[in-house]
Amino acid sequence: MKLSELIDAFPVRQYRRKKDARGTLLPDPEIRSIHYRSQDVEPGGLFIAVSGFRTDGHEFIDDALARGAAAVMVQKTVERNVAVVEVSDTRAAMGPIAARFYGDPSRRMTVIGITGTNGKTTTSLITESILKQAGFSVGVIGTIDYHFSGKHYRNPVTTPESPDLQRILGQMRDAGVTHVVMEASSHAVDLHRIDGCWMDAAVFTNLSQDHLDYHGDMAAYWACKKRLFIRHLADGPKADHAVAVVNRNSPEGRELASMVRSGLITVGYTDDNTVWVTDDQSRLDGISGRLTMPGGSFLFRSPLVGRHNIENILCASGAALAAGVPPAAIQAGIGLLRNVPGRLESVPNAFGRFIFVDYAHTPDALENVLMAVTALSAGKIICVFGCGGDRDRKKRPLMGEIAGRLADLAVVTSDNPRTEDPMAIIRQMLPGIKQAAGREYGPEDLAAGVNDKGFLIEPDRRRAIRMALTASRPGDVLLIAGKGHETYQIIGEKTLAFDDRVEVVEALKRL
């Protein structure tokens, strides 16, 4: 595609073409690829210089040119003899430009975006299961990976940067995908990653504290979430049929439902919603209940554990309803999803322990999973958890208090400490733990089991898992929280191989 064609629908400050040695303007360059990292630039590519949190892409223009960039897009004045497109905000321009380059793939598929602090991944995979049961070809983009046509690909962030997102959507379109289910994080909304990705439906799961290191406060975080519905969904090219699916089981959900300008499907526990649940039950082997919606009412059963997953099922059912799926396919799709990686994922064992690995890394998520397993077991509850480094520090004492209050033994350890001192993170968690947990255990106390409510500090996550297992007895629940599906641990600047599921299996061999 010619550069002038790529940018003709987007407001630009100026477009300067490259000149030859005699000062003659060279022809409009053909753009063969789009890049925002100079090390990825290919000959004939357009390099978009984005000012990031740590580095400024404008500093890497020469590197991009050395790698064969045919043109650069900037938001600062740049003097280079190359085709230069200057815009007011390169990050805001990147999504629409990438969408045009890849042929606006989201317009040719049904796209369902899912946002909320917790439940995005589980809701996405339930929705995928339902849509497949209805006979559609489905692609999923989310925290665990992105996948379509039976193939799975690594996804380093929940919602990819806009050129990556548009490339993935283009691949899905070319592979015959009809429906895309994607997680839309608050970062994705605020950083324009989903600009140029047009949704037929957007789903709101819930809101609780997270990402305050980025947003600053809950008001800004909530305002960002609402923009997906109030502006992005309502003002796009699919606005005439776009639908907001809102979980009204919270004040935020009720507020959002009153504000949306698109079509609306609400879900919840009362019959004033479009989709509602009754007779719900939660056990260690799964959840069940009756769903009622336009077109029918049916009993459902799911192997997923925890009452919070009933709300995820409600949200997925609302999304499917927005896509025109009949109740029979919704019922079948709910039951067919056997598990979600790293979401109360059970670790089978021959020692009579109920062991779960979960991604819970926010106060609300940790409380949900602890309440779920507490209600289902008469044994002791042992929770291994930590808080991520270089992230929201305000949630650390909150998570400490929750674990101290709901677990019989809270084993405080490292999550992904990143560049912070692991013990410094733990010290910020301790006020909440000490408020609720009682005595402090030492490693020498564990062989006798957990007799009194308390906590244990062990910054090494591998040792913490082994200590927690040592303290457990048959019938006890061991919850290893925070990392879920992740197969790495970030310590300092290094990313090391680490999988909670693998670690607990190895620890079981020592029991």
pLDDT tens readout for residues 38-63: 999 999 999 999 998 889 999 999 99
Q: Which residue has the tokens 């962030």?
A: 157
Q: Is 128 annotated as a binding residue?
A: no
295 by DSSP, 3-state: which?
A: coil
Q: Is 418 annotated as a binding residue?
A: yes
Q: What is the pLDDT of residue 318?
A: 99
238 to each of 106, 242, 498, how far by Cα in Å?
Answer: 10, 6, 42
Task: Give the mean pLDDT of 247-275.
Answer: 97
Tell me which of 209 and 289 has the higher pLDDT. 289
Query: Do residues 300 and 311 make contact, with C-beta atoms less than 8 angstroms apart?
Result: no
Q: What is the pLDDT of residue 376?
A: 78
Q: What is the pLDDT of residue 59?
A: 97
**pLDDT band at residue 21, thresholds of 50, 70 and 90?**
confident
Q: Is 121 annotated as a binding residue?
A: yes
Residue 158 has pLDDT above 90, yes or no: no
Q: Is 416 annotated as a binding residue?
A: yes
Query: Do residues 11 and 85 make contact, with C-beta atoms less than 8 angstroms apart?
Result: no
454 by DSSP, 3-state: which?
A: strand
331 to each of 265, 300, 309, how far by Cα in Å?
Answer: 18, 6, 15
Q: Is 289 annotated as a binding residue?
A: no
Could you give the CA distance from residue 197 to residue 105 in angstroms, rounded to a whole number?
8
Cβ neighbours for 393, distance < 8 A, ≥ 6 positions apart: 213, 428
Largest pairwise CA distance in the chain: 86
Residue 278 has pLDDT above 90, yes or no: yes
Q: Is 391 annotated as a binding residue?
A: yes
Q: Is 486 annotated as a binding residue?
A: yes
User: Is residue 37 classed exposed, middle or buried when 0-12, 13-18 and 19+ CB atoms within 10 A define those classes?
Assistant: middle
Query: Do residues 399 and 387 make contact, with C-beta atoms less than 8 angstroms apart?
Result: yes
Q: Is 474 annotated as a binding residue?
A: no
Query: What tens digit of pLDDT does each residue of 403-440 get?
Result: 999 999 999 999 999 999 999 999 999 999 998 988 99
Residue 231 has pLDDT above 90, yes or no: no
Cβ neighbours for 53, distance < 8 A, ≥ 6 positions apart: none
Q: Is 193 annotated as a binding residue?
A: yes
What is the DSSP annotation of 414-430?
-S--BTS-HHHHHHHHH
Q: Is 226 annotated as a binding residue?
A: no
Q: Is 81 annotated as a binding residue?
A: no
Q: What is the pLDDT of residue 275?
A: 99
Task: Give the mean pLDDT of 461-483.
Answer: 97
Can you name the residues that pair with 16 across neighbouring β-strands?
Answer: 84
Question: Domains in the chain and their CATH numbers?
Answer: 3-101 (3.40.1390.10), 105-336 (3.40.1190.10), 345-509 (3.90.190.20)
Q: Is 493 annotated as a binding residue?
A: no
Q: Is 63 annotated as a binding residue?
A: no
Q: Is 158 annotated as a binding residue?
A: yes
- Give percent of the chain with pLDDT exceeding 70: 100
Task: Give the mean pLDDT of 436-460.
Answer: 93
Q: Is 487 annotated as a binding residue?
A: no
Give the residue from 487, 499, 184 showing the smallest Cα distance to 347. 499
pTM of the model: 0.92
Could you give the CA distance from residue 425 to residue 430 in angstroms, rounded to a whole number?
9
| Cβ atoms within 10 Å of 58's Cβ, excluding its own | 16
Q: Is 503 annotated as a binding residue?
A: no
Q: Is 159 annotated as a binding residue?
A: yes
Range in 24-28, 271-275, 311-315, 398-402 the model is least confident about? 24-28
Q: What is the pLDDT of residue 309?
A: 96
Cβ neighbours for 170, distance < 8 A, ≥ 6 positions apart: 102, 103, 105
Q: What is the pLDDT of residue 511?
A: 87
Give the residue from 93, 130, 90, 103 showing the smallest Cα distance to 114. 130
Q: Tell me which DSSP letter residue 23 carries.
A: S
